[in-house]
Structure 1
Amino acid sequence: MEKLFFILYSVVLTFVYLLALPFLFLFSFKTKYKDAIPARFFLWRNKPLEANGIWFHSCSFGEARAIKPLVDVLPKDILRMSTTTHTGLEVIKSYTSQSRYLPFEPLLFLWLKPQKVLVVMEAEFWYLLFALAKKRGAKTLLVNARMSDRSFPKYQKMGWLYKQIFKQIDEVYAQTLLDKERLESLGAKNVVVTGNIKLAQLPSVSKRWVKPSGLLVCAASTHEGEEEMILKAFSDFKKQESDAKLIIVPRHPERFNKVVKMVEDFSKKEKFTVQRYSQNETIKSDIVVLDALGELVNVYAISDLVILGGAFAPIGGHNAAEAAQFGCKILSGPHYFNQKDIFEAIEGIAVVEASNLSRRLLQHAQLKPAQLKSKSDITPMVESLKNVL
């Protein structure tokens, strides 16, 4: 049955891939995909990773950063990295030159070389990735595994598929006991609860920013539709705190220019001053748009209030621990379903509806500084990896 599934899955996915080729070719000319699509779907400038290493696969910028505690305990010469996003690639390149875009599954037959271990972050459930790595001799690990309230029913509907995927995974390290139970119901075995790896080693300050004299509000990792709401709330806030300043940090680099234009138009109406961080690395204007990666933790270190994006729209939220480590007062929307375990590990986060953001911001004196209650233990993962060296 397992062999038959492997053959059928491979044939069907190859057929889908061939049908999609003309569309993928056209999309590859778009600026957003000009690197990722040629590399992932045509293997353009995407050489296979060298064999016999420890291979980490992570999807996004945040996940790529989160694996650093594991990366730091391993010899650099055996590190192999892959990702599916441009921002993720920028992070993993800092770990090793053996960093690549992960090819689409059927292309793994040609691309994948034998490795000692495959370590996959969170919810990257690619059947052929696990199956081929295992067939070619790798020990397979799923780390920081989670199963949110929102996603679990969807996984259950496709339970037959995930049972086959988990047959290819040797060890699973889950974020919470509830995640463990849900993963086991889908067929996961050897599941250990280790907490969220994102709490194991939080990013530290890389550059000291000079804090302005007034209250500093950081709108962190914002998404489409959230900036407008935050700008309105800040305008009301400025009437009470005239020397307050706002730093907006859009989540996706491709939105930087759009957000800058939005902020400039808003500032003209409100008579606020505005600047781009890339053009002036100070905080002198009423509103600063942080159009650079890797600086958010430096902003957290001097912020009084943090409005955490990704949760005022049904995105799933972002990591609040990075701000909480500095004792910032944190305001979040209610849609933090992908970060539920992290939120439970932090005291003091104020969860507010978008319609109440302005009012709660004006009541900032009543908010409590956020504080971390717990961290994670990555020791079992480290021991498992070192056992193969």
Structure 2
Amino acid sequence: MIKLNVFFRIFRGKENKSRFSERYGITSIERPGGDIVWIHAASIGEFKSADLLINLLYKNYTILVTTTTLSAANFASKNYAHKIIHQFAPLDISLWVEKFLNKWRPKLVIWIESDLWPITMELLKQKSIKSLLVNVRMSPQSFKKWKIIKFFYKQMTECFSEIFAQSQLDRERIKTLTNRNIKFIGNLKLSSRSNIQKISWDKKLKNFQKGRTLMLASTHENEEFQFLPTIKRLLLQVDGLKIIIAPRHPERSKTIQSIYQKSGISTKLMSDNAYANGDVLIVNTFGNLPAYFNISDIVFLGGSFVSKGGHNPIEPAINNCVIITGPHVYNWQNIYEDMLRNNACFVFNKISILEKKIKKLFEDNNEMNKMKENSKKVAQKNFFDSSELIYIIKNILEVSPC
């Protein structure tokens, strides 16, 4: 049944048809000599956060990175092929995980965030493979569920010699579940300035300029629909306004375009030749969000008017944007609290109130510029102290950090 599911995913374009055997722990790649560090980063976000660790270790060790999503695999091949060996993570079946572990024999495992698999975790424990759980998070919903079977979460994480939480709130929740000393050294996703660097904008976007551009970034299903009446009114009320929508899952772009066009809004896809001519541009490609932040004035971060936990406000803030979000930001709670203390973002419970603030900001350059300045100051802080993590890795691998 599981094998059939893999073939179904291949049919839907969610697996690499030439490499699906890796999901069964089988690969044609020969294991190189020497010690291997295995980093597991399920999707593209986790992979990007592993940048610090990869650059720290790749010159002295073979770095094996596993992912589960095709987009993360493509990102790895494009940007890190000279630094790592990439494999698709084996499915959580004893036989297949055993094959994988026996093949690669990692000296250290660094597991990023929350993609925990019970059989894999148990085998790491049985084989006494040194393992670290890094940047783990625990949403309020997950915490409620895990509290019911607290013993299972505790047992599943026993393979990790150290656990590093993504935030103080995550630390307290995981401490409650495990009765362990959980460390907090900041958010690994903010450890690399290469992840939040400023990128020059596409010259074809000359119609989109600072002073008149609103961006809805990393929006989730239904959020674009919730914003539709607001966007229609803002286009009438704010002279020269341009709007960029970058859905979290670009495959929804044509559906969003259809809904907006039926409402009479001139909407183009980024892949269209004349994409810069519409009032609304939908980004239907992966990556390069900073290029769009760089030409935006106000950025609404999605996953916050639906309960997805919000998205990273530091990337748009470093690109001189005003940050606006809905109420569901538990994945980035510490960062938003810091920004609110410094008058560096707006958090709204209702889109109707958010709409009034957006209109006012476009009318008041002084407030707009002050908010941009405040958000950029917060974004320039150091949000991750890597020293303790590097020290632990160094002791396990018995070499000095690079």
Q: Is the 8 A contact 2:139 2:309 kept in 1?
A: no
TM-superposed deviation, 1:243:
0.5
TM-superposed deviation, 1:24:
5.0
Q: Is the 8 A contact 2:214 2:244 kept in 1?
A: yes
1:205 to 2:192 alignment: no
TM-superposed deviation, 1:75:
2.0
1:363 to 2:364 alignment: no
Q: Tell me, in whole angstroms, the C-alpha distance in 1 between the residues paired with 2:72 and 2:282.
A: 22
SS in 1 for 2:11: coil
**Counterparts in 2 of 1:177-216, with a 5 A limit?**
177-187=168-178, 189=180, 191-201=182-192, 202-210=195-203, 212-213=208-209, 214-216=211-213
**Which string of whole-angstrom CA distances, capped at 9 and with x for unpartnered residues, describes residues 316-367 of structure 1?**
2111111112231122111222221232232422122234333332222456
Give the structure 2 partner of residue 61 of structure 1.
44
| Mean Cα deviation higher: 363-372 or 111-120 | 363-372
| Mean Cα deviation higher: 148-157 or 220-229 | 148-157
TM-score of the pair, normalised by structure 2: 0.81
Counterpart selection for 1:310 from 293, 297, 303: 303
Q: Is the 8 A contact 1:53 1:117 kept in 2?
A: yes
SS in 2 for 1:315: coil
C-alpha spacing 1:48/1:150, structure 2 compared with 1 (3 Å): farther
**Which string of whole-angstrom CA distances, capped at 9 and with x for unpartnered residues, describes residues 102-130 of structure 1?**
11111201222310211111112223323
Q: Tell me, in whole angstroms, the C-alpha distance in 1 between the residues paired with 2:260 and 2:124.
A: 47
Counterpart selection for 1:92 from 73, 76, 87: 76
Q: Is the 8 A contact 2:143 2:173 kept in 1?
A: yes
Give the structure 2 partner of residue 258 of structure 1.
255
Q: Tell me, in whole angstroms, the C-alpha distance in 2 between the residues paired with 1:105 and 1:62.
A: 21
Give the structure 1 partner of residue 155 of structure 2.
164
SS in 1 for 2:356: helix
Q: Is the 8 A contact 1:159 1:186 kept in 2?
A: yes
1:105 to 2:88 alignment: no
1:275 to 2:264 alignment: no
Amino acid at match of 1:81: V
Q: Tell me, in whole angstroms, the C-alpha distance in 2 between the residues paired with 1:218 and 1:69.
A: 29
1:378 to 2:361 alignment: no
Counterpart selection for 1:127 from 110, 118, 130: 118
Q: Is the 8 A contact 1:57 1:81 kept in 2?
A: yes
Q: Tell me, in whole angstroms, the C-alpha distance in 2 between the residues paired with 1:251 and 1:173.
A: 26
C-alpha spacing 1:280/1:380, structure 2 compared with 1 (3 Å): farther
Amino acid at match of 1:111: F
Structure 2 unmatched ranges of 5 or more: none
Structure 1 unmatched ranges of 5 or more: 1-18
Q: Is the 8 A contact 1:69 1:200 kept in 2?
A: yes
TM-superposed deviation, 1:36:
11
SS in 2 for 1:105: coil
| Mean Cα deviation higher: 281-290 or 304-313 | 281-290
| Mean Cα deviation higher: 289-298 or 146-155 | 146-155
Amino acid at match of 1:180: R
Q: Tell me, in whole angstroms, the C-alpha distance in 2 between the residues paired with 1:248 and 1:36.
A: 33
Count of residue pairs brought into register by the alignment: 367
C-alpha spacing 1:65/1:258, structure 2 compared with 1 (3 Å): same
SS in 2 for 1:150: helix
C-alpha spacing 1:294/1:27, structure 2 compared with 1 (3 Å): closer
Amino acid at match of 2:329: Y
Counterpart selection for 1:72 from 33, 55, 60: 55
TM-superposed deviation, 1:215:
0.7
Amino acid at match of 1:278: S
TM-superposed deviation, 1:32:
3.8
C-alpha spacing 1:224/1:218, structure 2 compared with 1 (3 Å): same
C-alpha spacing 1:22/1:175, structure 2 compared with 1 (3 Å): closer
Q: Is the 8 A contact 1:114 1:137 kept in 2?
A: no
Counterpart selection for 1:349 from 345, 352, 356: 345
SS in 1 for 2:304: coil
Q: Tell me, in whole angstroms, the C-alpha distance in 2 between the residues paired with 1:27 and 1:75.
A: 32
Q: Percent identity?
A: 28
C-alpha spacing 1:34/1:290, structure 2 compared with 1 (3 Å): same
SS in 2 for 1:346: helix
SS in 1 for 2:315: helix
Give the structure 2 partner of residue 329 of structure 1.
322
| Mean Cα deviation higher: 52-61 or 70-79 | 70-79
Q: Tell me, in whole angstroms, the C-alpha distance in 2 between the residues paired with 1:120 and 1:204.
A: 25
Q: Is the 8 A contact 1:58 1:121 kept in 2?
A: yes
C-alpha spacing 1:209/1:160, structure 2 compared with 1 (3 Å): same
* Backbone CA RMSD of aligned residues: 2.8
C-alpha spacing 1:254/1:188, structure 2 compared with 1 (3 Å): farther
Q: Is the 8 A contact 2:230 2:352 kept in 1?
A: no
Q: Tell me, in whole angstroms, the C-alpha distance in 1 between the residues paired with 2:179 and 2:114.
A: 13
Q: Tell me, in whole angstroms, the C-alpha distance in 1 between the residues paired with 2:254 and 2:21.
A: 26
Give the structure 2 partner of residue 149 of structure 1.
140
Q: Tell me, in whole angstroms, the C-alpha distance in 1 between the residues paired with 2:315 and 2:308.
A: 18
**Which string of whole-angstrom CA distances, capped at 9 and with x for unpartnered residues, describes residues 187-217 of structure 1?**
2645321011122224213433356345111
C-alpha spacing 1:343/1:91, structure 2 compared with 1 (3 Å): farther
Q: Is the 8 A contact 1:334 1:351 kept in 2?
A: yes
